[in-house]
Structure 1
Amino acid sequence: MKGRNMTRWRDPAKDPRQEPKSNLITLEGAQRLRGILDHLSRVKRPALSAKVGEAAALGDRSENADYTYNKKELNRVIARIRYLTKRLDELQVVDRLPANTDKVYFGAFVTLEDEQGEEMHIRIVGHDETDTTRHWISVDAPLAKALLGKSLDDEVTVAAPGGEQTWLISEIHYRLPGADAETDA
């Protein structure tokens, strides 16, 4: 059978999508996920349910595009609510600073300098709060794994698609949990 349902076979033992993800999340990330869950449950789902009900009342559902679209959207929202509820139960909120703030641990803001002297600012966060625009990387990412436990002025070498890259840790700092997110982003 050919078509859109066919996918490339991947060896489960080597598939990076099968690797277990850490269950760590920052306090801000947990609050954001709870806010999304609350919005979906209290606002989005009831509104979509009402739209589906209105569209169903119009009659023939098989040719009713409004009914079909809103029903699919409602199912998508319900699935997202189910996922967030389950995921929030699994997560471990890190709501305190590490004992030694001179080393890189979960939640750290790290400034790295490459061999050409260019700087990169990253933050190590949980899988559910990664954000490429803010340079927040998952604690499960290869760069984050290489940085964990390192100190200021340590060199870290990471395998990258273009070859190995070496970074020097030039700054490490943390933000108190619950502090204003815009001050250190």
Structure 2
Amino acid sequence: MATNIITREGHEALRSELDHLWRVYRPEITQKVTWAASLGDRSENADYQYNKKLLREIDRRIRYLRKRLEDVKIVDYAPEQEGRVFFGAWVEIENDEGELKKFRIVGYDEIYGRNDYISIDSPMARALLKKQEGDEFVVQTPGGDALWYVTRIFYPGPVDA
């Protein structure tokens, strides 16, 4: 299983998703299921079947989020991290061909829908941990070892509470 750590922003995003599913989306779909069921024969009622399936998917996601929010540990930035790559860092890297990449190292639950986030459990993130600007590192890929250089490390500013 993935590492059970998450950034504060990621935790808030999961909590917000859970709240939206439970308070807004689920009641909306439940109302549609009730309406479709009132039309009669459920076996040939596409609205009923589709929305019932959607309701099961919503309930599955709600169960997952509730369990996950109990299990994860929020990791906040600490000043001691400055100048080195740790969890929550934004990192810019470059290879010998001049290819540039910029991403943030975050928890497993935060990477979906984001092209600029990578999981702390990924080979790239593991290879980067504790590196400083100017350091070189090797990442093992299916195509062989890849050499990269750390060009910049920074941490997001404090989130307004």
TM-score normalized by structure 2?
0.93
Higher helix proportion (structure 1 or 2): 2
Q: 2:3 aligns with which of 17, 22, 35?
A: 22
Alignment of 1:69-88 (within 5 A): 69-88=50-69
- Alpha-carbon deviations, 1:43-88, whole Å to 9, x = none? 1111111111111111111111111111000011011001011001
Structure 1 residues without counterparts, runs of 5 or longer: 1-19, 180-185
Q: Are the structure 2 counterparts of residues 51 and 39 from structure 1 closer, same or farther at C-alpha, using a change threshold of 3 Å?
A: same
Alignment of 1:10-159 (within 5 A): 20-131=1-112, 133-159=114-140
Residues 77, 155 of structure 2: 8 Å contact kept? no
Q: Distance in 2 between the 1:26 and 1:53 partners?
A: 39
Residues 5, 73 of structure 2: 8 Å contact kept? yes
Q: Distance in 1 between the 2:131 and 2:22 partners?
A: 42
CA RMSD of aligned residues (A): 1.4
Q: Distance in 1 between the 2:102 and 2:4 partners?
A: 23
Structure 2 residues without counterparts, runs of 5 or longer: none
How many residue pairs end up in the alignment?
160
Between stretches 156-165 and 93-102, larger displacement belongs to 93-102
Q: Which amino acid aligns with 2:146?
A: Q
Q: Are the structure 2 counterparts of residues 113 and 131 from structure 1 closer, same or farther at C-alpha, using a change threshold of 3 Å?
A: farther
Q: Distance in 2 between the 1:132 and 1:123 partners?
A: 13
Between stretches 98-107 and 60-69, larger displacement belongs to 98-107
Q: Distance in 1 between the 2:113 and 2:98 partners?
A: 21
TM-score normalized by structure 1?
0.82
Residues 131, 137 of structure 1: 8 Å contact kept? no
